[in-house]
Structure 1
Amino acid sequence: MSLVLPNSVTAIAKGTYTYGAATFASFTPLKTLEANGLKTVGGYAFYKCAALETASLPAAATVEGAAFQYCTALETVNLPLAATIEGSAFQYCDALESLTLGTALPALDTYVFRDAGRDSGGFTVYVPTAAAEAALNAAIEDTGNSWYKALKVPANMGEGKFNGVAVTQ
């Protein structure tokens, strides 16, 4: 099942992990999400949408905590305008293959990608320019940066789940 939200929907309210307490939490038939006008993805909004494979959120600036946690089939996420990705947003998304960002790096909280990414191959972060690639690679190597903590510290990420950064074609 596909869900296409109208451009007039700009925010999904924060919910809780309790079954049914968040907008689309545990909505098991959902496979694709297209939300071109959505600017804020509330916490737990798509929690445990186990069949969700693709999320296209081209206007989203904020992804709140646990928004996609336990979306175990989620492979592809498009967030070119993301400014903030909160804790556990993609935790346990163990099918994650690609995350597409824009030229500006979003701020991250702890455990954003904890145990996210395929066991064989991990996931790749795609950015649109060589300058964005250089900036992200520098952030990942800076031990004081949240990107380093999210992608390089095994306790936060999980061993071998991050594949690297690449420029989109």
Structure 2
Amino acid sequence: AASSLLGHGAPQSVGAVLIEGVARAAILLGYLFLIGRLRNVQRVFEYHGAEHKAINCLESGAAVEVGNVRLASRLHPRCGTGFLVVVALVSVIVFTPLGWLFWPVRIACQIALIPLVAGVAYEVIRGLARIRHTRFGRIALVPVLAVQRLSTREPDDSQIEVAIAALAAARAGEDAGVGEVHAAVP
């Protein structure tokens, strides 16, 4: 019985798994592109750009004020959107060996492996951010930063002010300690 679950029923080739991974990535990129055309979402993407600019300014060592933040990049190597791209790439690598399994077992295994895929992707993003100033780091970050062109927009000064305030509050929360931050949230 176990062999019938594991060995039969439309196994996928490596090529099919790769196509599935490319399809997932294409759906993500298409979704970002399409929702980025909505006016309200464009505004959200402007705030996203402001957030990146503020953290880039902070990490550069410049004073976190509107003029300096405005000059910073709206792209950041540890962005959640970039994380999704890395998740798509890591999932292709992790899920490829599962292609020979019967599809219900394959899907169950893929679901069970989501935490592993997410953890590996998180560490990849962190690692790339650490080496972003090296030649390899700059090359490896190209897809991560490119997708952010879909999920960020140039903010106005009022959005930058919000990002600065949010960053200051987050830093104050870190300084106060996690328990105190959670206690202050209603």
Measured against the shorter chain, the TM-score band is under 0.3
More helix by percentage: 2
The two structures have a TM-score, normalised by structure 2, of: 0.23
Higher normalized contact order (CA 8 Å, seq sep 6+, divided by chain length): 2
More strand by percentage: 1
The two structures have a TM-score, normalised by structure 1, of: 0.24
